[in-house]
Amino acid sequence: MKRILIIGSGGAGKSTLARRLSKISGIPLIHLDRHYWRAGWHQTPKAEWIEDVAVLIASDQWIMDGNFDGSLDLRLSRADTVVFLDMPRYLCFYRVIKRRLSFRGTNRPDMADGCNEKLDLEFLWWLWRYPNSDRTDCEAKIARAGGHVTVIRLHSAAQVEQFVAEFAIAG
């Protein structure tokens, strides 16, 4: 595993897992949120975003967390491993609310500067719909990516801990 893509719903634990794997392996960490969002929660224009992602995935090693459906095919073309955090909806909601309370008025370490933690109806609606919409889209894109990508699907915190332990041993 040299190019690891971590995807899943908001609150699934993507950034936390990415940090842990990077610390264990020394593989460079890329938080897509830090690259996509600009101060004040402004999005990077689509064409520029695709160019940025092309540069980010060009290196031989990376651990990258984030969904961003519009660039998933491109990232899958370079990834050798996808870790799909397929967590229960209630757990993701709990973690998002906890995160909001923990980082109120500040930036998370995985977020771009000037994007203070927020929780709005649009994000909550996306979070609610994720299992029936975005997850299905991600699965289809992964299936189209072909056999060069190993997919590891984790459904619980216990499975994440087991994966991290095995990753550390294999390291």
Taking the C-alpha atoms of residue 110 and residue 18, their distance in angstroms, rounded to an integer, is 10
pLDDT reported for residue 50: 96
For 96-107, write each residue's pLDDT tens digit.
999 999 998 888
| 38-46 contact pairs (CB < 8 A, 24+) | 38/112, 38/114, 38/115, 39/112, 39/113, 39/114, 39/115, 40/114, 40/115, 41/115, 41/118, 46/70
pLDDT reported for residue 169: 92
Fold classification of 3-170 (topology level): Rossmann fold (3.40.50)
pLDDT reported for residue 69: 85
Structural domain boundaries in the chain: 3-170
pLDDT reported for residue 147: 84
For residue 102, what are the contacts with CB-CB under 8 A and spacing of at least 6? 117
For 20-70, write each residue's pLDDT tens digit.
999 999 999 999 999 999 999 999 999 999 999 999 999 999 999 998 889
Residue 171 has pLDDT above 80, yes or no: no
pLDDT reported for residue 158: 97
For 120-146, write each residue's pLDDT tens digit.
999 999 999 998 888 889 999 999 987
pLDDT reported for residue 59: 96
pLDDT reported for residue 16: 97
pLDDT reported for residue 87: 96
pLDDT reported for residue 98: 94
For CA atoms 89, 95, 101, 107, the dihedral sign is negative
For 75-86, write each residue's pLDDT tens digit.
999 999 999 999
pLDDT reported for residue 104: 87
Residue position matching structure tokens 């973690």: 95
